[in-house]
Amino acid sequence: MAELCEDIGRGRVSTKALEIQSNFLTWKQRGRERRSRLHREMELKKFGQNLDDEEAANNAASSVKAAEPSPTPAPETPAPNAETVVASPDNEDDEYAFANGLVQSSLNPRVRIGRNGEMVIDEQSLHVDQVVDDETANYTHVTESDHSKFINSGTYGRRFRGTRWSAEETELFYLALQQHGENYELISYMLPGRDRKACKSKFKAEDKKNAARINQCLNNRIPIDFASLSRVTGKDFSGPVPEISMPT
């Protein structure tokens, strides 16, 4: 059966097939870039950093290197007889016109004055032109076809391929387990880039491989290190412990 699927090299390749293959390779390349970016974000979260801050620092460094030094002009000194005009805060031109920010809706019926002074509803205001009122100026035209969009039953699934746990992360997991116990939500706070589900799966895996150390961490609890927790989460836990009481 496999020989029937092989290309015998006769005829010419369809332009549609070439277009689909080219679009598929481009789609796979975008997927690799997106996954590498997500992996980079997870690695930076482990050290309390952000990917946007790193990109901004790299862009700033490259712009500083590319910029050429330009001579600074000398400050201009005003003439002794020159007059300085200071704008008054009560100037009407500087005030914000609130009426300009109001948008009049064309869907409301309008009323006009008739010949005899009576109020008559404008018949033209009762008709709505959908083509004129349709705000499509900021829309983006997207062309989708079977040649450029590759979707199957698992495209929009919530599956996420996790990364391997390093030795440093494993030691930090045991330290968090000794502090918080089996509260995986608090353990995930100590491990940036790991959610509650990943921490629970790690606990099950370590319980099978090293059950003695798991029992040691659970039996010998230590107080919570708020300094490291504040450094990792970026929140301030200093100050007195809040008192929680029932409302009276």
Summarize pLDDT for 178-200 with one digit per residue, the tens.
999 999 998 998 888 888 999 99
76 pLDDT band, cuts 50/70/90, is: low
Residue-wise pLDDT for 198-223, tens only, equals 999 999 999 999 999 999 999 999 99
How many angstroms separate the Cα of 94 from the Cα of each of 88, 89, 103?
Answer: 9, 7, 21
How many angstroms separate the Cα of 225 from the Cα of each of 96, 177, 180, 188, 229?
Answer: 52, 12, 10, 15, 6
d(CA 165, CA 203): 12
103 Cβ neighbours under 8 A, 6+ residues apart:
none
Residue 36 counted as domain residue = yes
Q: Which domain holds residue 203?
A: 167-233
Residue 171 counted as domain residue = yes
Residue 47 counted as domain residue = yes
Query: What pLDDT, on the 0 to 100 scale, is given for residue 95?
Result: 57
Residue 113 counted as domain residue = no
Residue 73 counted as domain residue = no
Instruction: Please report, as a single letter, which amino acid is at residue 74.
Output: A
- Look at 145 and 84; give whichever has higher pLDDT: 145
> How many CB atoms neighbour CB 192 within 10 A?
19
How many angstroms separate the Cα of 6 from the Cα of each of 45, 205, 227?
Answer: 47, 44, 64
- What is the total count of domains within the chain? 2
67 pLDDT band, cuts 50/70/90, is: low
Q: Which two tokens stand for residue 83?
A: 């007059």
79 pLDDT band, cuts 50/70/90, is: very low
Mean pLDDT for the chain overall: 77
Q: Which range in 28-42, 76-90, 234-248 is most confidently predicted, on average pLDDT? A: 28-42
CA 33, 36, 38, 44 dihedral sign is negative
Residue-wise pLDDT for 99-108, tens only, equals 565 556 667 7
Residue 125 counted as domain residue = no
d(CA 41, CA 193): 8
For residue 113, the SS3 value is strand
Residue 8 counted as domain residue = no
Residue 6 counted as domain residue = no
In this structure, the chain runs to a length of 248
- Look at 32 and 12; give whichever has higher pLDDT: 32
The fraction of the chain above a pLDDT of 90, given in percent, is 19
